[in-house]
């Protein structure tokens, strides 16, 4: 078994140089119970070797998190998107009988009737409202 003791080399007070701080390494050999000094060059090489072994390498991501595709954004929860946006919208629904246009909320929770002929335009479900067959709709712009 070998134990490594690391000590920083003491220098005289001079102008500080940029770069690596040289470290002296002493190897403690249990059988001999003595210190063996390692030269400055060898300690520098050993320091570089330790640095490369301990360095964590950044793995490239499989997908770009900053620029998700529009389909992927639509599938996400409304609050977990890059920019929060609701799933609901307003739409203009055209009655198949009298061709009058009525504005309906996409997630309406009540039965919506036509103003002109009292035909059922949509029925509520657990989430989005289900349009009646024959009704055409257009999503309203902001």
Q: 137 pLDDT exceeds 60?
A: yes
pLDDT digits (tens, 9 = 90+) for 111-126: 999 998 999 999 999 8
CATH number listed for the domain at residues 90-139 = 2.20.25.100
- Please name the residues in contact with 44: beta carbons below 8 A apart, sequence gap of 6 or more: 20, 22, 23
- Helix, strand, or coil here: 53? helix
Q: 109 pLDDT exceeds 50?
A: yes
**Mean pLDDT computed over 2-20:** 56
Whether residue 22 contacts residue 9, with contact meaning beta carbons closer than 8 Å, is answered with yes
How is the chain split into domains, by residue range? 90-139
**Mean pLDDT computed over 1-9:** 53
pLDDT digits (tens, 9 = 90+) for 35-91: 455 566 677 777 777 777 677 677 788 888 899 999 999 999 999 999 999 999 999
């Amino acid at each position: 078994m070998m134990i490594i003791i690391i000590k920083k080399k003491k220098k005289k007070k001079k102008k500080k140089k940029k770069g690596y701080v040289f470290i002296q390494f002493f190897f403690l050999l249990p059988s001999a119970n003595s210190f063996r000094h390692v030269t400055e060059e060898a300690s520098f090489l050993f320091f570089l070797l330790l640095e490369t072994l301990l360095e964590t390498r950044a793995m490239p991501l499989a997908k770009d998190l900053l620029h998700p595709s529009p389909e992927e954004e639509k599938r996400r929860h409304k609050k977990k998107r890059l920019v929060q946006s609701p799933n609901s919208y307003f739409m203009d629904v055209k009655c198949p009988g009298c061709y009058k246009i009525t504005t309906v909320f996409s997630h309406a929770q009540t039965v919506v009737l036509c103003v002109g002929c009292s035909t059922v335009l949509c029925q509520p479900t657990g989430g989005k409202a289900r349009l009646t067959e024959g009704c055409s709709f257009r999503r309203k712009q902001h």
